[in-house]
Amino acid sequence: MKITKKIYDSPFITYTLIVIMLFVYLLMSLNGGSENPQTLVKFGALYPPAIMNGEWWRLITPIFIHIGITHLILNLVTIYFIGIIIEREFGHFKYLLIFIISGILGNLTSLSFTSGLSAGASTSIFGLFGSFFMVYESYKENTYIRNTAKSFFYFLAFNFIYDLFIPGIDLWGHIGGIIAGFLISYVVGLKEINKKIRIKRLISTFVLIAVIIILLKVSFLTF
């Protein structure tokens, strides 16, 4: 029982996600290399023509795929630090929901506004940052949360500026991820939910549904 409780109290979802991504990267490295376009398509990268042919699962699989060792390490380190915070604030399964849905909607945003091959957990990672800003918006009086939010804001500002000048970066996926993370965090709710947050949850649910409908329509119009 003590071992089970210790595991449950740890950020085991974050650890599991990291292990899965490492495993997928290893498999890709042994099957043509993670930077090989054919290998990326084979393992489920975001490939618009394939998605339009019915392979909608490609909105999920890119979350676990990385292009090159640098891409992998940067994302895993970021997931470790921000993931532990969000998993603690929301609980294990709400955190996993935020991570996956942010990734899917980030990839759907990318599908709507770009046409290239892409992969990576960045859509989900930006969703976790969006989730933290929801926590900040709800508990501004907390000094730790306020200071951490400020640091994350500077980090994201740098990333968005970097995205604008570096070719191959999926800026739209990042934007979609952070918006999705912010909204879905209100939908699933924190451990403590007061009346004010209930109202914001309702609004966020409607906005999230509207965003999904718009993105799906744009995707079909684009392709």
71 is catalytic: no
174 is catalytic: yes
Choosing from 110, 122, 124, 219, the catalytic residue is: 122
Fill in the DSSP letter of residue 221: H
Cβ(124)–Cβ(100) under 8 Å? Answer: yes
Our CA angle for 176, 74, 39, nearest 5°, is 80
User: Is 44 strand, coil or helix?
Assistant: coil
Choosing from 174, 185, 204, 219, the catalytic residue is: 174
Residues involved in catalysis: 122, 174
